[in-house]
Structure 1
Amino acid sequence: MNDTTSNDMTSAPASTRYTLWQLVRYMLALGTWGFGGPVALAGYMYRDLVERRGWISESDYKEGLALAQLMPGPLAAQLAIYLGYVHHRVIGATVAGLAFVLPSFFMVVALGAAYVAYGGIGWMQAVFYGVGAAVIGIIAMSAYKLTTKNIGKDKLLWAIFLVSAAVTVITKSEVVWVFLGAGVLVWLWRAPPKFGRNLHSFAAPIAAWFALDTIDWHKLGQIGAYFAYAGTFVFGSGLAIVPFLYGGVVKEYAWLTDRQFVDAVAVAMITPGPVVITTGFIGYLVGGFWGAVVAAIATFVPCYLFTILPAPYFKKYGKRRGIVAFVDGVTAAAIGAITGAVIVIGQRSITDWVSAALAVITIAVLWRFKKFPEPVIVLIAALAGLVLYPLLGHH
């Protein structure tokens, strides 16, 4: 697997393959139509930018995925920022990130306004019933593809994958030490280091983590501080932020009721783009439009900084055997965590035989028709939910 890395680099296209504007258009489209959560979005970026268009080399993509896993914050948004960085540096990272996040932000603000105006959304639960089940199928297929592509027959990576999946299922959260430990383990196993400066690239951002939870003005200040804290400490998939937010938004601050919180997660699932954008919806319910703006900015700024600050080190040292081994280990742990998350979220989304059947049908369709567009599946699942949910005696 390591041999291909250098080949990828030699054949990697120069930045002439595409313009920054083309990348921005792609990210806007993905932010508008990209359903299925972080894993699926990362999968679309691989399919479209590496396989189909050849804009990004395989090794650059893998580096971006590993960096997004290592640094806290939403996976898909960080990967988008990193892919913008690859050929267009900070400007590319900034506009690619904004293009990816803005469409879903405007959608959740509009839904938030409707939600506040009409006092809770009954039909949304019906839609979520269908979409939640289909999304599990989509994520399960993405996890399967990532596993077969990145882990192959490597026994050490398989062991890491299984441990990471088990930890995620048991703790129902992502444990950063599993990612870091996996990276270090593969690094020591494959390329025992001559200790030096290889690791300083990971140390720099860590110092910034603890400096964010200090603001405490009025509610906007609270929202800003809390969501910056959430954006700073949540690793891996955007779905990992859900249990974390529940603790703060419902239990600690009592900004929302249980029911409102579940609806907020439903909104994140039925809108495309990064799942973390649920913070915009929660912000809207707590503090209106500016609450949404503050919550979204506070969640995404840490992840933006955590991507562009280490990126130059990743580009400079990323080809070294030690770093490649470290990246492979982290990637295996990340894919394990994602697979575990399928089970955790599945337990919440699949509540009866009908939703289980919807999930299985989704997997079957994606398995049989490789190119079947996910948004179509999500739409059909939403309609199925609207029809079936009331018939099953829910109201």
Structure 2
Amino acid sequence: MPSAGGTTTSTAPAPAAPVALPSFGEAVRVWARIGLLSFGGPAGQIATMHRELVEERGWISETRFLHALNYCMLLPGPEAQQLATYVGWLLHRTLGGLVAGLLFILPGAVVMSALGLLYAVSHDVPLISALFFGIKAAVLAVVVQALLRIGRRALSTRLHLAIAALAFVAIYAAQVPFPLVVLAAGLFGFAFAGKGFGAPAAPAAGEGIVDDLFAQGAMAHTHPSAGRALKVLAVWLPAWLGPVALLALLTGPHSVWATIGSFFSVMAVVTFGGAYAALAYVAQAAVETFGWLSPHEMVDGLGLAETTPGPLILVLQFVGILAAYRDPGALPAWLAGLFGGALTVWVTFAPCFLWIFLGAPYMEALRGNRRLAAAMSAITAAVVGVILNLAVWFALHVVFREVREWRVLGLSPDVPVLASVDWRAAVLAVGALVAMLRFRAGMMATLGVCALAGLALSWLPA
């Protein structure tokens, strides 16, 4: 603008505010909060992380969240815990990934240790079931909210919507194995890159702190290298399998400790599709081969895992507790049970850190590849169908006491037995949906109110 002397001066634009990652302490608090609130299986846990990391704090963008989720869905083991590890690694390197992954596991593992031992002694935990009765109903609202938000962004074309629908029908009604659904979607996207699929648009500035730092070239730790990959293998393979080999050496290859360590290490590699996929393998071996527990006890273990925070695959910890409790050797039974559960948790989750720390840098490097982006875009659409299937499964088992298989046109979806509806769970679920979707109630408040209401209603007849 003109100055008093008639000259013209220009005002330089204000420099953009520097972008900074959240502090490590802040991240630890958020990961602890997510770990304590991670109810409802993978669908509810992914919904919780999406809300905390993408919507409320803007640490990462929607596209990067889904990119990480797609990779985790392809891995054996619990995808939600691996997603937490991936994002923690993006934010604060290896230590951040360790803290995020461990805090996702620890609350549920501690609770399961107590409940598993209590079950081993008494087989009766009515107060705990009553306390979490309302929480399970509230989780339905969290899942539905996440499906609506993620679906709006991920299903950007009719082709994406069709893939999501086909994925849901394939898993829910045709019982197609989860890995085949994801593989088919990825191959379809890869083959038809550019015909309805393609590289996702780059996130706009300010859409995610991590994405802004990537744009500035400030995320050097995400660059892959052969040397770094070898270091990861050198650390995590011995950390995972070393304790198993040591126990076999000290106690013999046929001891309960060696059997738990080797059996669940194998499960960690072959159980694609999360806890429900793992359950079929584990139930047959634990009940029929090893005789660690009965079929009824296996179902009870899954019920306990569903009502505690953390991955549903913590049902394996329950199996490890009972196996060691009933074959304690020279140890007190309660101490053997705790050790058996801890060993199961370690060999189940240690490889999850290996998959992320080894593979995530390569996934980040390939993020702009057109064909890979097309494959991941198709997988993202299929994941929406997968989450919907988990949500429906969860809803059926919360609101109804009985479900049955309905055979029609070669399909066999689960349908509810209408006479078995639990009106208490239905009321709580509808109330939570209205509170969160209509009145935008916070998740903590909704979970707390539903927990208290569930504690009161659980004593009334269904």
Q: For this structure pair, what is the TM-score category when the shorter chain's length is used for normalisation?
A: 0.7 to 0.9
- Asked whether the 8 Å contact 1:20–1:92 carries over to 2, the reply is yes
Deviation per CA, 1:24-81, whole angstroms, max 9, x where unpaired? 2321221123323222222222222233323223333222111111112112100011
Q: Is the 8 A contact 2:53 2:60 kept in 1?
A: yes
Aligned: 1:362 with 2:453: no
| Counterparts of residues 278-357 of structure 1 (less than 5 Å) | 278-287=315-324, 288-349=337-398, 350-351=400-401, 352-353=420-421, 354=423, 355-357=425-427
What residue number does 2:85 align with?
81
Task: State whether structure 2 residue 179 is matched by structure 1 residue 110.
Answer: no
Alignment partners' CA distance in 2, 1:127 and 1:25? 25
Tell whether the 8 Å contact from 1:238 to 1:275 is kept in structure 2 after alignment.
Answer: yes
Deviations 1:164-212 (A, max 9, x none): 111221355752021021012112212489xxxxxxx9xxxxxxxxxx9
- CA change 1:71–1:21 in 2 (3 A) is same
SS of alignment partner, residue 17 of structure 1: coil
Say whether residues 1:159 and 2:162 are aligned partners. yes
Q: 1:84 to 1:271 in 2, by over 3 A?
A: same
Q: Check the 8 A contact 2:37/2:48 in 1, yes or no.
A: no
What's 2:327 paired with? none
Listed as ranges, the matches of 1:174-185 within 5 Å are 174-185=177-188
Q: What is the CA distance between 1:83 and its match in structure 2? A: 0.5
Name the aligned partner's letter for residue 369 of structure 1. F
Please state if 1:146 is matched with 2:168.
no
Amino acid across the alignment from 2:262: A
Query: Which is further off, 74-83 or 253-262?
Result: 253-262
Q: Separation in 1 of the partners of 2:276 and 2:440? A: 25
Counterpart among 262, 272, 277 of residue 225 in structure 1? 262
Query: What code does the residue aligned with 1:360 have?
Result: V
Alignment CA distance shift 1:221-1:120 (3 Å): farther
Q: Deviations over 1:143-168 (max 9, x none)?
A: 3332222113x122112111111122
Task: Give the distance between the partners of 2:289 and 2:128, measured in 1 at CA.
Answer: 26
Q: Structure 2 length as normaliser, TM-score?
A: 0.70
Asked if the contact 1:104–1:273 (Cα under 8 Å) also holds between the matched residues in 2, the reply is yes
Number of aligned residue pairs: 367
Kindly report which structure 2 residues correspond to 1:234-313, keeping only aligned pairs within 5 A, or say none: 234-287=271-324, 288-313=337-362
Query: Mean Cα displacement is larger for which, 132-141 or 219-228?
Result: 132-141
From the CA coordinates, give the structure whose radius of gyration is larger: 2
CA 364–254 in structure 1, closer or farther in 2 if over 3 Å, else same: farther
The verdict on how the C-alpha distance between 1:337 and 1:59 changes in structure 2, with shifts beyond 3 A counting, is: closer
Match of 1:6 in 2: none
Judging changes above 3 Å, is the alpha-carbon distance between structure 1 residues 243 and 358 closer, same or farther for their aligned structure 2 residues?
A: farther
State how far apart, in whole Å, the 1-side matches of 2:138 and 2:355 are: 32
Matches of 2:150 and 2:280, distance apart in 1: 24
Distance 1:321 1:47 in 2: 28
- Distance change in 2, residues 1:111/1:318 (3 Å): same
- Partner deviation per Cα, 1:251-296 (whole Å, 9 max, x = no partner): 4433222332233222222222222223223322222011111111
Q: Take 2:152 and 2:277, find their aligned partners in 1: how far apart are those partners?
A: 23
Unaligned runs of 5+ in 1: 1-10, 194-200, 202-211
- The aligned amino acid for 2:304 is V
Instruction: Please state how far the C-alpha of 1:240 moved relative to its aligned partner.
Output: 4.3
Q: For 1:386 and 1:50, how far apart are their aligned partners in 2?
A: 32
Query: Are 1:30 and 1:273, in contact at CA under 8 Å, matched by a contact in 2?
Result: no
Match of 1:22? 26
Select 1:96's aligned residue among 88, 93, 100: 100
Deviation string 1:77-133 (CA, Å, 9 cap, x unpaired) is: 000110122143333222321222122211211222333333332344445654444
Answer whether contact 2:67 2:376 (CA < 8 A) is retained.
Answer: yes
Q: Compute the TM-score of the two structures, normalised by the length of structure 1.
A: 0.81
**Aligned 8 A contact 1:128 1:269 in 2:** no
Alignment check: 8 A CA contact 1:112 1:284 kept: yes
- The code of the aligned residue for 1:336 comes to G
Q: 1:323 to 1:30 in 2, by over 3 A?
A: same
Provide the C-alpha distance between the structure 1 equivalents of 2:44 and 2:395, rounded to a whole number of angstroms: 15
- In structure 2, do the counterparts of structure 1 residues 265 and 217 end up closer, same or farther at CA, with 3 Å as the change threshold? same
- Which stretch has the larger CA shift, 138-147 or 68-77? 138-147
Identical counterparts, % of pairs: 30
Letter in 1 for 2:370: R
Partner of 2:222: none
Letter in 2 for 1:166: V
> Could you tell me which residue of structure 2 aligns to residue 67 of structure 1?
71
More helix by share: 1
CA spacing shift, 1:109–1:88, aligned 2, 3 Å: same
Whole-Å separation in 2 of the counterparts to 1:320 and 1:65: 17
Please say if residues 428 and 454 of structure 2, whose CA atoms lie closer than 8 Å, have aligned partners that are also in contact.
Answer: no
| Inter-partner Cα distance in structure 2 for 1:28 and 1:107 | 15
- Which of 43, 53, 57 aligns to 2:57? It is 53
1:385: Cα distance to partner? Answer: 4.5
**Larger deviation, residues 68-77 vs 280-289:** 280-289
Q: Which moved more, 1:249-258 or 1:282-291?
A: 249-258
Change (3 A) 1:172 1:253: farther
Partner amino acid for 2:168?
Answer: A
